Amino acid sequence: MNRVTTGLEQLLGHPSRYLKGRRLGLVGNQTSVTADLTHAASALARLEGFELVRLFAPEHGFHGVAQDMEAVAPGTDPLTGLPVHSLYGDDAHTLTPDPGLFEDLDGLLFDIQDIGARYYTFIYTLANCMQAAGQAGVPVVVLDRPNPINGLQTEGNRVRPGYFSFVGQYPLLNRHGLTVGELARMFRDHFGIACDLTVVPMQGWNRAMWFDQTGLPWVPPSPNMPTLATATVYPGLCLIEGTRCSEGRGTTRPFEQAGAPGVDAVRLAETLNRLRLPGVRFRPVWFKPTFQKHAGRVCGGVFLHVTDRESFRPVLSGLAVICTLAAEFPDQFAWRTEPYEFVSDRPAIDLLYGHNGLREHLESGQEVLGREEPRMEDWVEDQQAFEKTRREFLLY
């Protein structure tokens, strides 16, 4: 297997090719490592001719300790002794950094592993840092990494105006099929974020690759993203977060299983398997979350076994789980009503799905699932429009 060389490794090998000036800041987390697991902060701190002076932490913190939607406090990095500024605090204002944090820098580096779904907040931390750095006149250097669930397949619908949030800040598809470097170029050139941007590309990556074909070590990007299998189902099963049902947080297999107390797991699995969705089988499962939804209670549900990841449709499968739970177990199913990602005036499911269509279809009794595509009028149009735009920003 030929190993992929990440943008970080490319930069470390040729720093003067990509960096101007001396003083650097780094937006990173525990995934910001070389193939031999040297952290970017440590490697950059030793880089001759440059000075790493400041670190910035996204959701979950610089070392991935905090749970989802848990405020990250500023601190000090134990690896380097450098100050860490939080870009995910206790209100929406903390999500966009003050340009003043960047003004004494000669360059801001971004090196975080994304997982290929629009709900994952790291890509919006990137966009917000690009905006603030542009205002401060500081160049942004994005160190590219693989899309772990390949860069060919896309799926879903776009976020509509009125439903933008930190799980959908731009009108991307649920599964966008882009790398962070490609997204950065889209943010600048298509969505109009004015900044001096350099993308340090990978070597050896092609769009058909899954992460386990890159030769790179998997470092969990967040506490509930332990494996590539989790990332594979996440573009669809994250939608369960918009319901009262458990998406498996508080278990060792988050997002690969979903359910709720009182759900007949056998009936749920049989109903879902009759749909014959591509690349997946549903197994009846019982699990007890240790925290968050239904903590300490036994949930009946299904476990998703991906039998063919090339044909598997995660968003279609996630919708199937939601629609079946809602239809077959109305007493156990309900929408989440608590504030979600600092938004309290719209339901979480509308933010995750990108508009209110899914919720209103289900509440009115309309059929959502078709044989191959949901019966949602925006899917085909959104996919065609997004693919046309997406092609302009492909680097590989």
Q: Cβ distance 62 to 142 under 8 Å?
A: no
- Of all residues in the chain, what percent are helix, strand and coil, respectively (each to 5)? 30, 15, 50
> For position 372, what pLDDT does the model report?
67
Q: What is the mean pLDDT of the chain?
A: 96
| Model confidence at 370: pLDDT above 80 | no
| Model confidence at 377: pLDDT above 90 | no
- Residue 192 has a CB neighbour count (10 Å cut-off) of 8
- Distances in Å between the alpha carbon of 280 and those of 122, 252, 258, 267, 312? 28, 20, 14, 17, 6
CA distance 291 to 395: 41
Token pair recorded at residue 74: 């500023």
Q: Cβ distance 111 to 8 under 8 Å?
A: yes
pLDDT per position as a tens digit, 273-324: 999 999 999 999 999 999 999 999 999 999 999 999 999 999 999 999 999 9
> For position 375, what pLDDT does the model report?
73
Q: What is the C-alpha radius of gyration for the chain, rounded to an integer number of angstroms?
A: 21
- Distances in Å between the alpha carbon of 242 and those of 325, 336, 353? 13, 5, 9
**What average pLDDT score do residues 331-343 get?**
96
Q: DSSP secondary structure string, 302-320?
A: EEEEES-TTT--HHHHHHH
Alpha-helix runs per DSSP H in 89-143? 122-136
**What average pLDDT score do residues 349-361 get?**
95
In CATH terms, the fold of domain 228-355 is: Aspartate Aminotransferase, domain 1 (3.90.1150)
- Residue 296 has a CB neighbour count (10 Å cut-off) of 9
Which among 101, 107, 84, 113 has a CA at the least distance from the CA of 8? 113
Which among 26, 27, 8 has a CA at the least distance from the CA of 18? 8
What value, to the nearest 5°, has the Cα angle with vertex 228 and ends 114 and 118?
Answer: 35
- Distances in Å between the alpha carbon of 95 and those of 69, 201, 280? 12, 26, 36
**Half-sphere exposure in the Cβ direction for 174 (13 Å, CA):** 28
Q: Cβ distance 112 to 81 under 8 Å?
A: no
**What average pLDDT score do residues 254-263 get?**
98
pLDDT per position as a tens digit, 86-117: 999 999 999 999 999 999 999 999 999 999 99
- Distances in Å between the alpha carbon of 262 and those of 286, 292, 359? 10, 17, 22
For residue 390, the Cα-to-chain-centroid distance in whole angstroms is: 17
> For position 371, what pLDDT does the model report?
63
261: confidence class by pLDDT, cuts 50, 70, 90? very high
> For position 73, what pLDDT does the model report?
94
**What average pLDDT score do residues 128-136 get?**
98
> For position 193, what pLDDT does the model report?
98
Which CATH architecture describes the domain 7-223? 3-Layer(aba) Sandwich (3.40)
**What average pLDDT score do residues 6-28 get?**
96
CA distance 237 to 304: 10
Domain chopping of the chain, boundaries: 7-223, 228-355
**What average pLDDT score do residues 47-67 get?**
96
**What average pLDDT score do residues 113-133 get?**
98
pLDDT above 90 coverage of the chain, percent: 94
Q: For 45-66, b where at least 16 C-beta lie within 10 A, e where not — what string?
A: beeeebebbbbbbbbbbbbbeb
> For position 369, what pLDDT does the model report?
82
CA distance 130 to 190: 14
Token pair recorded at residue 328: 């077959």
Which of 1-15, 103-117, 244-258, 367-381 is least confident? 367-381
| Model confidence at 386: pLDDT above 70 | yes
| Model confidence at 373: pLDDT above 80 | no
CA distance 336 to 15: 47
pLDDT above 70 coverage of the chain, percent: 99
